Amino acid sequence: MWTDQYDLLLISTDSSFCTEWEQMLSGSFKIHRAPSEQVAFFLIREVQIKLVLIDLRHPLHNVVQTIRSQFGNALYLFGLGQAQSQQVSQAFRSGVDQYFLPNSSPDFMLMSLQAAKKRLVLPQNTQAVQSSHVSSKERSRIQLGPIEVFPFDHLAKVDGINHHLSPIQFKLLLAFVSKTDELLTREWLQENVWENLEISPRSIDAQVSKLKKTIHLLTPSIINVYGKGYILNSQVLFGHIEDQEKQVA
C-alpha cells in the first residue's frame, strides 16, 4: 500500500515473538526490537518511533502505562495478549489503542498496522491534502458548533485547532457527533467503537472520561445515563458555548 517503510517497535522479553513478527512485517515496516523498558524509551526518543507493538503475554511491568504517560497520544500502541476479559480491560485502561489475540488473522493485523501508519502520517500532510484535488468523500466533515470531525482524515478540530486523539477516542468522538442527543448504550459502543471486542464497562467509561478531558467542551455535554450509557446533549453543549462567549465579551 505504501512504498516507504515506517518504523515499528516490537517490545517483548521473548525473542521468538520479535523474530516471528519481524519476518512477517519487515517488507512493510522498518523493525526495531526492545527487550526492556529502557531500550524501548531510548528507541522511541532517538528514532522518533510512533508505532509500537507490545507483547502482553510476557509483560514488562507497567510498560504500556509508562509509555503513554511519557509520550502521550503521539504514539499508536498495539497490544497482543490472551482473550481473558481482565487482561483485555487492563490493556485498554493502561493505554493500548488496539488489542490483538494470538489467533488473530495475520492479514487483519497487518491491515490494522497499515491503517495506523496512515493515520500517523496524515496529520503531517494535512495542509498538502487540503490544497490538492481530493474527492468529495475525502472532504467530508461533521461539524457541531466549534467541533469539526473529518472521518476520512482521522482529524478533529476545535475552534480550528487540531486535537490529537488516540484512535479509540477519535472513534468515540465520531460516534457522539454523528448521533447527537441519542442514547449510546455501552453495548452499542462496544459493538461499534470497539468492534465487539470483549471489554468491561469500566474501560468504556475510562475512555469516555479521557475524551472529555481532552476536549473540554464535552465535559458538561456528554451526560452519563446511569446504568445505560451516554448522551451528547446538544442543548447543553451550545449553552456552554454561549456562556463562554459571554464571559469573553
Q: What is the pLDDT of residue 1?
A: 34
pLDDT in tens, 232-248: 988 788 877 777 766 66
- Of 152, 144, 226, nearest to 183 by C-alpha is 226
HSE, CB side, 13 Å, CA atoms: give it for residue 151.
13
For residue 133, pLDDT beyond 50: no
Q: What is the pLDDT of residue 248?
A: 63
Q: What is the pLDDT of residue 120?
A: 63
**Integer Cα distance of 181 and 103 in angstroms:** 39
- Please state, in angstroms and as integers, the Cα–Cα distance from residue 59 to each residue in 5, 53, 76, 91, 113, following that order: 27, 12, 18, 11, 21
> For 12-21, 38-47, 62-71, 129-138, which range has the lowest pLDDT when averaged over its residues?
129-138
Length of the chain equals: 249
**Integer Cα distance of 102 and 85 in angstroms:** 14
User: For the chain, which domains are there?
Assistant: 6-122 (3.40.50.2300), 138-248 (1.10.10.10)
User: What grid cell was written down for 145?
Assistant: 458548533
User: What grid cell was written down for 22?
Assistant: 519481524
Q: What is the pLDDT of residue 93?
A: 81
For the residues 133-145, what does the mean pLDDT come to?
59
Q: What is the pLDDT of residue 119?
A: 63
- Of 180, 127, 132, 172, nearest to 151 by C-alpha is 172
Q: Whole-model pTM?
A: 0.52
**Integer Cα distance of 227 and 161 in angstroms:** 34
User: What grid cell was written down for 11?
Assistant: 517490545
**Integer Cα distance of 141 and 123 in angstroms:** 16
* Single-letter residue type at 115: A
For the residues 158-183, what does the mean pLDDT come to?
89
pLDDT band at 52 (very low <50, low <70, confident <90, very high): very high
- 3-class DSSP state of 39: helix
pLDDT band at 206 (very low <50, low <70, confident <90, very high): very high
- Of 36, 96, 38, 100, nearest to 68 by C-alpha is 96
For residue 121, pLDDT beyond 60: no
> For 145-154, 167-176, 235-244, which range has the lowest pLDDT when averaged over its residues?
235-244
Q: What is the pLDDT of residue 5?
A: 64
- Of 147, 140, 142, 165, nearest to 238 by C-alpha is 147
Question: In terms of pLDDT, which residue wins out, 138 or 207?
Answer: 207
Q: What is the pLDDT of residue 118?
A: 67
Q: What percent of the chain has pLDDT over 70?
A: 86
What values do phi and psi take at 148, rounded to 5? Answer: -120, 135
